[in-house]
Chain A
Amino acid sequence: MRPDFHRRTFLRAGGVILTLPMLEAMTPRGHAAPAKKLVKRFVCLTNNYGVYPAAFFPDPTQPGAKYDLPETLAPLKEHKADVSVFSNLDHGNTGGHQGVPVLLSGVKPINATGFPEGNLSIDQKIADWVGADVRFPALALRVNEANLISFTRTGVQVPSIDLRQLYQALFIDDVAAKKATAKEQLQRHRSILDVVKAEADDFHKGLGKQDQRKFDEYLDSVRTLEKKVELQQPWVVKPKPKAPINEPPAGKGTAADLKAMVELVALAIQTDSTRAVTLASGFANGDFGLSGSYHGFSHHGQREKEVAALKAIEKNQIAQMAYLIELLKKQDDPISGGTLFDHTAILFGCGMATGEHSNKNLPLVLAGGGFKHGEHKVYPAEGAKRVPAANLLLSILRNHGLEIDRFGTSTGTLTGLEVRK
């Protein structure tokens, strides 16, 4: 029998301690991954304007464990031993804002054709690999900002969902009628795809070589979608985990919304609803008592007020990373053992380094996932010796269990970033 668990108050008064309910009872039964394989997750927190570097990067002359946490990273103090801060990693490109979508692929969309997997981002790479093991192989989320970093294999940007949509997706079961409709819809789509596939095969035959190569994309799409429709089938009828919290109110400003979002992310991981998350956050006019726009602040031109605003926004993003670390540390991982934090790699970063459109030396902080942390890792700054940030992406993927030797522009896994034994 499944014991009734007593759900403890989720948020204690004052919001100091969030206790996640027990995982076992929450996990949909019969759906845990095989016990021997470690299940890993990946979460990326990002923004679209980079950081104010002077307050973000530790002193370059302080590599290793003994470094001073800079102002923006101060909220990570408690977890300093469990995070790695990187200096001098980037994707080696220019183009300011065009760098933002490159964070998790290392490949600019415009150069995608030159790479075997295009500008596929690692969250989607993980999603492909996870397949139908969980309800949402990957989730792209946003708080007051577009999420620009998740790309499929064919270079299509994955649209993101907001706080409300995430809550619904995770916990609210469709009503019976809607479920029936959804089931019917899947069946209908299957029949449609059958016809479309036959049509596409005929269409393909009538094409010249060059056209056929291009049209292969469509054939691929039909096949993949067919597969996905199949994979989706069981999830339509399977009940969702019960909602351990009430739906958080949305639209309460970036600080509150991002915090609520981070809590939902923790719950999504805990209920094994997803294995990869990207979460972009921004700024709404009035947040933190500031008026203006994020983009405006990012063009600070060294003006005091703008710089202060930027720091406040960024510090909150780091504080929310710390909060996620805290939440996951408190929770045992019944699938992989240890805590959820041990098996969840949390990356903070942006593909554009600064609001001044530099794409050099990206802000990157990694926590959890079973890596050895605690250091400020400084990589060579000189042009010829620079290490591509894609090496970090490859390390994360390898750690996740993917047996691959290359990802995007990587030249290998990231030296100096080791896995805890």
Chain B
Amino acid sequence: MKAQLVALAVALFGGSVALADSPLDRLRPFLKQHCQECHGPTKQANDLRFDALGVDLSKKETLEGWQGILDQLNAGTMPPKGKPKPDVKEAAAAIRTLTAELKAAYAKLESTGGKTVVRRLNRYELRNSLRDLLYLDGAADFRPDVMVKLEDRNGDGVARWTSNDPTREFPVDDLDDGFDTVGSRLVMSDFLLKKVISAAEYSLDLATASGKKPNLDKQTFAAPIRTESGHGDLHHFSHLADKSFDGIYQRYREPGASTGGLGRVVPTKIAKTGVAARGRYRITVEASAHNQKHPWGDLIKSRQDEPMLLGLHMIDSQQGATSDDNPKSVKLTEWEVPADGTKRAYTFDTLLDEKWVPWLGWENAPYDRGLTPSKLVQKYLPDSFSPLPKDAKEKERQLYEPEMAKELFAAGYKGPHLRIFSLTIEPLDAAWPPKSHTALYGVKETEPVEDLLRAFASRAFRRDMKPDDVARYVELVKAQMEQGRTRAEALRTGYTAVIASPRFYYLKEADGPLHGYALATRLSYFFWSSMPDEELLALAKADKLKDPATLRKQLDRMLDDPRSAAFVRRFTSRWLRLYKLGTMPPPGGFYYHRQMEAEMLKQTDAFFAHLLRENRPIREVIDSDYTFLNERTAQWIYQRDDVWGDVFRKVPAKAPHGGGMLTMPAVMTATANGVDTSPVVRGVWLLEAILGTPPAPPPPDVEPLSPDLRGKKTIRDQLDAHRKQPACATCHQKIDPFGFPFENFDELGLWRTQYRDSGGKLKVDPSAELPEGTAVKDIAGLKAALLKKEPQVVRHLTEKLLVYGTGRKLEATDRGEVNRILADLEKSGNKLRDLVKLVATNKVFTTK
């Protein structure tokens, strides 16, 4: 009955009845009093008439009309000079109402009705999908942590590509609230289509084995392994005494240290060429450890209470296999070697890209560049010591340290060291050509093209293809062959068409709940940013993913798979806006020569991956009693000297940085501009990324603060002045307090108590009073206050996971499901892995 009345009313009065009680109508008296003298019934300055302005904001002109009023109010430019201004409070109330109404209207305009819009792959997903489709795993530039971008290596303003990623020249994908998976936002253009075709051609070439079968025999490099002359450290000298092992006495150094590759054992025989073909390899190392506890502690500051760790790395030989500065080096694993002098064998299976080479280092070794054989001899073998004569000739000088080393080794070296006896590289699939090739052209290379195309398309299109489904491609390939192209060329053309086809490049789903293939696809792009693998596709085909137990098992399998590194890196970079890192890098310094940008992201990866793997409480994002550090980050940013090694390890958190992710250098750098910091930017970041309550955007016409760096005023003084202006106050009272406590961290996340260039005159004041009245003294206080907002933080994270996973914005109608997730999550203690799994099984995620 009531519905009928409304329907009648609507029929009689048009749509306006339903909107009659719009809050906008409450602004009428305000407009009448302050605006309508010029923009009313009698006069329409600038053709604007507000009394006739409707309230149906779904009409574009109406929306624009109100937006214009809001802009003028915000800017304070209307009413014009000479006319009475509205009371500040009154104007603020009007601004608030208008802002909220317009925001809702814009959201409605952008609404996709709670459905995911068909979307193309973003460039990162495209690259990963090409990798998996073409069996290119192991190709260096396809690794999940390799982010393609023009990179300025040293801050000199000259940017270069650091990767041969096939998508390197793709334009940056559009973001929606930081996310590059939102379908309605990802645009397509002819330009991009052309790039996709070239990326396909490039990747297909990479997958095609050309030339003769490379040497794929097992290769053993027995000591002496690293033999090039002139690296002049103990390792080198030890060969003078004993060639049966390569000794490691010191730690290899990080980029920027320019030690000429000291402490790195690389097989010299293949140091310039690397392995001959991309593939899986088993690496076997024979090693022993000696003198973990030793009498030479005065000169050699090793960690005598820790087991000795031998690290296995791989490096791109084309950029210097022994170079400290080669950024293309990846740590593979490390082994604890018992220091009993016994020779043991260690093995590790890994993918190696063509031209990459494994190398070894002692991870927790001491480091002292000035530790020469003569020093050791002088102190511990005084009888054998003879000082270098002051007037020694060049030749004598050159021979001196080797002579001393001989003494040292002859008497028996008592310091801690690792001995490497051999390094063996054994291809695990020595089949030639490799799978990437045979998958494209067949094993015999005479198989019917129909079969090859059908198999390829079934994987590319993520569902089983019948012969008819690929008829067009078969026709294309055959036509190419008729025009004189070789079988391989013609097939490549066919595969390129498959990759450029929307069936590969777009994620298409039918309305309603997702089943089978569609669900498998959504899951794999969620966790792997890539296509489903054979196991998932098989389960999809058999429609087994609807079985909750099977699905749960798959979720765990996917999260434990190395490909989930894509989720860790991608999601954190979107959620915490770390993608901003590198867009405003600092002018120079250690950020470049120590290659810190990559380290910063490895740290956030390590921390978040730990939360995910160990199912840790989400509150640890805000604060935790541990953190993850490697030596470089610890030294250069945390100013701690109790962390060693290149790998990020779980270590106790210490003041002032503390634990959690908020004060990590990645965040601090991404929320600064490389030169200075602003509490406003960091405050906005916290509100947006962590609390999920973004402040209203700044009104047009507001000039940014221009800091005076001549040492007169702090940014705080300036903001205080800013907040005194009533127009600014409402927003900045909500923003600035969340930013001030971060002021102790400079633009790279280093702790500071005074501002640079101020000569000690300008002290940092990190205290703030949060909008609800809580006073916080510093960053620790802020973290404590945020921990009390845990439910809000968890809710926001949940929403962001859903946006990331579904590729759409959340709408009001999703709130019930979000609440359901949160209720279930709270029962088990608000833990991250639980949350991710709840998200992946929630209706919002499993429905188009």
Interface residues of A (CB under 8 A from B): 92-94, 96-97, 109, 144-146, 152-159, 188-189, 191-196, 198-200, 203, 206-208, 210-211, 214-215, 217-218, 220-225, 228, 251, 254, 282-286, 292-296, 299-303, 354, 356-358, 360, 382-384
B118 contacts A192, C-beta separation under 8 Å: no
A199→B502 contact, CB < 8 A: yes
Q: Which residues of A contact B117 (CB under 8 A)?
A: 210-211, 214
A18 to chain B, nearest CB (A): 26
The A-contacting residues of B in range 496-550, CB under 8 angstroms, are 496-497, 500-503, 506, 508, 511
Return chain A residues, CB-CB under 8 Å to B169.
159
Interface check B150, CB cutoff 8 A: yes
B750 to chain A, nearest CB (A): 17
B674 touches A192 (CB 8 A): no
Among residues of B, the one whose C-beta sits closest to the C-beta of A222 is: B193
Interface residues of B in 657-688 (CB under 8 A from A): 673-676
Residues in A with CB closer than 8 Å to B587 are 292-293, 295-296
| B21: Cβ under 8 A from any A Cβ | no
Q: Are A302 and B183 in contact (CB under 8 A)?
A: no
Q: A203 to chain B: closest CB distance in Å?
A: 5
**B residues in contact with A145, CB < 8 Å:** 157
With A196-B500, A302-B710 as given contacts, are A157 and B171 in contact (CB-CB < 8 Å)? yes
Chain B residues, Cβ within 8 Å of A360:
701, 703
Q: A283-B157, A285-B157 are in contact. Are A383 and B703 (CB under 8 A)?
A: no
**When chains A and B are docked, how far (Å) is the Cα of A228 from the Cα of B194?**
10
Q: List the A side residues contacting B120 at CB < 8 Å.
A: 218
Residues of A within 8 A of B188 (CB): 154, 217-218, 220-221
Contacts of B675 in A (CB 8 A): 295-296, 299
Are B472's CB and A192's CB within 8 A?
A: no
Scoring B residues 69 to 97 as 1 if CB is less than 8 Å from chain A, else 0, what string do you get? 00010010110100000000000000000
Please tell me if the beta carbons of B476 and A189 are within 8 angstroms of each other in the complex.
Answer: no
Q: What 8 new A-B contacts, CB under 8 Å, besides A188-B496, A208-B511, A217-B188?
A: A92-B700, A191-B479, A195-B473, A218-B502, A293-B587, A295-B587, A301-B709, A302-B710
Instruction: Determine whether the beta carbon of A94 is less than 8 Å from that of B698.
Output: yes
Q: Which residues of B contact A223 (CB under 8 A)?
A: 190
CB nearest to A229 among chain B residues? B194
Asked whether B80 lies within 8 Å of A384 as measured between CB atoms, the reply is: yes
Listed from nearest, the 10 A-B pairs whose CB atoms lie closest are A301-B709, A383-B77, A293-B587, A356-B706, A296-B587, A224-B190, A154-B189, A225-B190, A211-B118, A357-B704
Closest to A251 in B: B158
Please determine whether B190 and A221 come into contact, CB atoms closer than 8 angstroms. Answer: yes
Specify which chain B residues have a CB less than 8 angstroms from the CB of A294 in the assembled complex: 157
Chain A residue nearest in CB terms to B703: A358
Indicate which residue in A97, A193, A199 contacts B503 across the interface (CB closer than 8 Å): A199
Q: Tell whether A195 pairs with B174 under 8 Å between CB atoms, given A211-B117, A217-B187.
A: no
Closest A residue by C-beta to B46 = A384
Give the interface SS of chain B, mostly helix, strand, loop or mixed: loop
Q: Residue on A with the closest CB to B187?
A: A154
Q: Are A211 and B189 in contact (CB under 8 A)?
A: no
Query: How far does the Cβ of B133 sit from chain A's closest Cβ, in whole Å?
Result: 17
- Are A302 and B708 in contact (CB-based, < 8 A)? yes
Collect the chain A residues with CB atoms within 8 Å of residue B112's CB: 210
**Is B158 touching A94 in the complex (CB atoms < 8 A)?**
no
Is B502 touching A156 in the complex (CB atoms < 8 A)?
no
Can you list 14 contacts pairing A with B, beta carbon distance less than 8 Å? A94-B702, A96-B704, A109-B174, A192-B476, A195-B475, A195-B497, A200-B502, A203-B501, A211-B118, A214-B119, A221-B189, A221-B192, A293-B587, A296-B587
Interface size class of B (residues with CB under 8 A): 35 or more
B184 at the interface (CB under 8 A from A): yes
In this assembly, does B156 line the interface, its C-beta being within 8 Å of a C-beta of chain A? yes
Q: How distant is the Cα of A382 from the Cα of B46 in the complex, in angstroms?
A: 14
Q: How far is the CB of B740 from chain A (nearest CB, A)?
A: 20
List B residues 444-476 near A (Cβ within 8 Å): 472-473, 475-476
- Does B18 have its Cβ within 8 Å of any Cβ on chain A? no
Chain B residues positioned under 8 Å from A301 (CB to CB): 676, 706-710
The complex places the Cα of A251 from the Cα of B705 at a distance, in Å, of 36
Task: Report how far A152 CA is from B599 CA in the complex, Å.
Answer: 35
CB distance from B545 to the nearest CB of A (A): 22
Q: Is B128 an interface residue (CB 8 A)?
A: no
Q: Please, which residues of chain B bring their CB within 8 A of the CB of A154?
A: 187-189, 191-192
Verify A293–B157 contact, CB threshold 8 A: yes
Q: Is B829 an interface residue (CB 8 A)?
A: no
* Contact assessment for B493 and A146 in the assembled complex, using a CB-CB cutoff below 8 Å: no
How distant is B469 from chain A, measured CB to nearest CB, in Å? 10
A299–B674 CA distance with the chains assembled, in angstroms: 10
A382 to B80, CA, bound (A): 10
Cross-chain contact A303 with B710 (CB below 8 angstroms) = yes
Assess the A156–B710 pair: CB atoms within 8 A: no
Note all chain A residues with C-beta closer than 8 A to B150: 146
Among A92, A210, A303, A356, the most chain B Cβ lie within 10 Å of the Cβ of: A210
Q: Which residue of A lies closest to B183 (CB)?
A: A214
A188 to B481, CA, bound (A): 12
In Å, the complex CA distance between A225 and B188 comes to 12
| Distance in angstroms between the alpha carbons of A146 and B709 in the assembled complex | 27
Q: How far is the CA of A295 from the CA of B583 in the complex (A)?
A: 11
The yes or no answer to B695 lying at the interface (CB within 8 A) is no
CB under 8 Å from chain A, chain B span 147-162: 150, 154-159
B157 contacts A203, CB within 8 Å? no
Residues in B neighbouring A191, C-beta threshold 8 A: 476, 479-480, 493, 497
Contact A214 B184 (CB under 8 A): yes
**Given A221-B190, A283-B157, A296-B587: A192 in contact with B708 (beta carbons within 8 A):** no
B506: chain A residues at CB < 8 Å are 203, 215, 218
Assuming A206-B508, A218-B502, A360-B701, is B156 touching A285 (CB within 8 A)? yes
State whether the Cβ of B431 lies closer than 8 Å to any Cβ in chain A: no
Residues of B with C-beta under 8 A to A144: 157-158
The answer, among B77, B119, B191, for a CB contact under 8 Å with A156, is B191
How distant is A97 from chain B, measured CB to nearest CB, in Å? 7
* B297 contacts the other chain (CB 8 A): no
A210 B115 Cβ-Cβ under 8 A: yes
Closest Cβ–Cβ distance, residue B438 to chain A (whole Å): 23
Rounded to whole Å, the gap between the CB of B117 and the closest CB of chain A is: 5
Within 8 A of A (CB), among B166-198: 169, 171-172, 174, 183-184, 187-194, 197
Q: CB-CB < 8 A to B501: which residues of A?
A: 195-196, 199-200, 203
Task: Judge whether A293 and B155 touch: CB under 8 Å.
Answer: yes
B187 touches A155 (CB 8 A): yes
Q: Can you name the residue of chain A whose Cβ is closest to the Cβ of B505?
A: A218
Contact of B497 among A192, A207, A220, A299 (CB under 8 A): A192
B110 — nearest CB in chain A belongs to which residue? Answer: A113
Is A152 a contact partner of B189 (Cβ separation < 8 A)? yes
CB atoms of A214 and B156 under 8 A apart: no
Residue in A94, A220, A223, A354 whose Cβ sees the most chain B Cβ within 10 Å: A94
A144 smallest CB distance to B (angstroms): 5
Interface centre among A93, A158, A198, A293 (most CB of B within 10 A): A293
Find out whether the CB atom of B187 lies under 8 angstroms from the CB atom of A158.
no
A25 to chain B minimum Cβ distance, whole angstroms, is 34
When distances are taken between beta carbons in the complex, the residues of chain A under 8 Å from B479 are 191
Task: Identify the closest chain A residue to B588 (Cβ).
Answer: A293
Partner of A210, one of B78, B113, B187, B193: B113
CB distance from B67 to the nearest CB of A (A): 11
One of B118, B159, B473, B710 near A214 (C-beta < 8 A): B118
Distance of A284 Cα from B479 Cα, bound (Å): 52
Nearest-Cβ distance from residue B592 to partner chain A, whole angstroms: 11
With a cutoff of 8 Å between Cβ atoms, the chain A residues found around residue B158 in the complex are 144, 251, 284
Q: Considering the complex, which residues of chain B in the window 106-150 have a beta carbon less than 8 Å from any beta carbon of chain A? A: 112-113, 115, 117-120, 150
User: Which residues from chain A contact B410 at a C-beta distance below 8 Å?
Assistant: none
Q: How far is A192 from B78 in the complex, measured between Cα atoms in Å?
A: 58
Q: CA separation between A357 and B704, bound complex, in Å?
A: 6
Given A159-B169, A214-B184, A292-B588, A189 and B197 contact (CB-CB distance below 8 Å): yes
A300: which B residues are within 8 A, CB to CB?
Answer: 709
